[in-house]
Amino acid sequence: MSVFVDDDTRVVVQGITGGEGKFHTEQMLEYGTNVVAGAVPGKGGQEVAGVPVYDTVDEAVEAEDANASVVFVPPAFAGDAVFEALDTNLDLVVAITEGIPTQDMAKVNKRLSEVDTNLIGPNCPGIITPGEAKLGILPGNIFEAGNVGLVSRSGTLTYQVVSNLTDRGIGQTTAIGIGGDPIIGTSFIDALEAFEADPETDAIAMCGEIGGEDEEQAAKYIAEYMDTPVAGFIAGRTAPPGKRMGHAGAIVSGSGTGTAESKINALNDAGVPVADTPGEVAEAIDDFL
C-alpha cells in the first residue's frame, strides 16, 4: 500500500519539452512511472522520450486517460499551469517549480478549496512510492519499499533521512516532499491523515523547518487523531529572526512566531520525539518498529 501514488497513477508532465522536464521525464520513466503524456502549449504532436505531447492538459487527459500531473513549468507561468491542471479535475498535481510568486499561489490556493484535486508543492521534490511510481525529482535509487511514511518540507533533507533509514534496512511506503513555500497545497496534516489511513504504514518520519505554524497544527492533529507513531525533526534552530533561509517559507518572524523551539515543544507535547540530528530520526523510527 501507499498514499497518493502507485502503479496505477497515469502522469502528464507539464513543461515536458524544457530541460528539466525532459531530463526528469526520462528519470521517471526509468523508475517505472507511467508517464503517459506531456502538455506544452504550441508543442502538440511532438514526442519526448517516446511520450506524446499535447497542447493542453485537457487534451492530454482526454487522449491518454491521465489522472495526475507533474509541473516543471518556469515560475512566471507555473501558477497558470497549476490552474490548468486543477481545472482538468485530476486526482493529483505535483508542482516542482521553485519561485512561484506568493500572490499567484494565494489565487491557486483559493481555487484549490473549490476542487477535489490534491496539490503537492510547489517548490518541492515530489512524491515517491518506492518500486511503483515517482512523480518529481527525487533520486529513486536511495529509496526502498517498506513500512515507513515520510513527509518533509525539504528535498535534500528528505534524501538524508531516507538514506539513514535505508542504511538501517528500513524501507518506505511513500515519501512526500510538501515544499518550502509559504503557501503550499498538501500540508503536514493532509499527509499525516493519508499515512494514518494506510494500513501498511507502521511509523512516520516528519521533517519540518522554521516558518509558519504548520508543524504546530500537525502536532495538535497527531495528539488528537493518530495512532501511528511519528518521529520528528525540525531544521533551523540556529536561524536568526527576519532572515529568509533559502526557502521562501523558512523565516522566523520578528515577533518570534515560526521558531524551531515552538515547533519542537508542540511536537514533544503531542508525544512526538524530535531528533537532534537527522541520523537520530532513523534511530527513533527503528525504536518504533
Instruction: Give the annotated binding-site residues for substrate.
Output: 159
Least gap, CB of 87 to other proteins (angstroms): 14
Q: Is 247 a catalytic residue?
A: yes
Residue found under cell 512526538: 272
The span from the CA of 175 to the CA of 253, in Å, is 29
Query: Applying CB under 8 A, which part among 5-13, 46-54, 194-202, 250-258 lies near other proteins?
Result: 250-258
Exposure of 235 by Cβ count < 10 A (0-12 exposed, 13-18 middle, 19+ buried)? buried
Annotated binding site: 17-20, 43, 96-98, 159
Instruction: List, in sequence order, every residue forming a beta bridge with 235; answer none if it has no partner.
Output: 209
- In the list 18, 41, 52, 75, the residue contacting other proteins (rule: CB under 8 A) is 75
Residue 86 sits in the site that holds other proteins (CB under 8 A): no
Q: How far is the CB of 79 from other proteins (least distance, A)?
A: 11
Residues 6+ apart with CB under 8 A from 18: 40, 72, 73, 74
Q: Are 188 and 272 in contact (CB under 8 A)?
A: no
Can you read off the three cell numbers belonging to residue 24?
526528469
In the bound state with other proteins, the residue whose beta carbon lies nearer, of 159 and 195, is 159
User: Does 236 contact other proteins by CB under 8 A?
Assistant: yes
Shortest distance (Å) from residue 159 CB to other proteins: 5
Options 1, 276, 287, 289; binder of other proteins; rule CB under 8 A: 276
Cα(241)–Cα(77) distance, rounded to whole angstroms?
A: 31
User: Binding string to other proteins for residues 179 to 208, with x set by CB under 8 A, is what?
Assistant: -x-xx-----------------------x-
Catalytic residue, candidates 10, 134, 247, 263: 247
CA 161 to chain centre: 15
What does the alpha-carbon distance between residue 272 and residue 281 come to, in Å, rounded to a whole number? 11
In SS3 terms, 127-172 reads as EEECCCEEEECCCHHHCCEEEEEEEECCHHHHHHHHHHHHHCCCCE
Which residues are known binding-site members for CoA? 17-20, 43, 96-98
- The residue ranges of DSSP E strands in 97-136, in sequence order, are 118-120, 126-129, 133-136
Q: Which of 288, 8, 4 is nearest to 148 (CA)?
A: 288
Find the binder of other proteins among 7, 63, 89, 101 (CB under 8 A): 101
* x/- track of binding to other proteins for residues 105-144 (CB under 8 A): xxx-xx--------------x-----------xxx--x--
Please report, as a single letter, which amino acid is at residue 1: M
> Looking at 165, 231, 250, 270, which residue binds other proteins (CB under 8 A)?
250
Site for other proteins in 154-183 (CB under 8 A): 154-160, 163, 180, 182-183
DSSP one-letter string for 195-211 = HHH-TT--EEEEEEESS
Residues belonging to the active site: 247
Binding-site ranges for other proteins (CB under 8 A): 75-76, 99-103, 105-107, 109-110, 125, 137-139, 142, 152-160, 163, 180, 182-183, 207, 209-214, 217, 233, 235-240, 242-250, 253-255, 260, 276-279
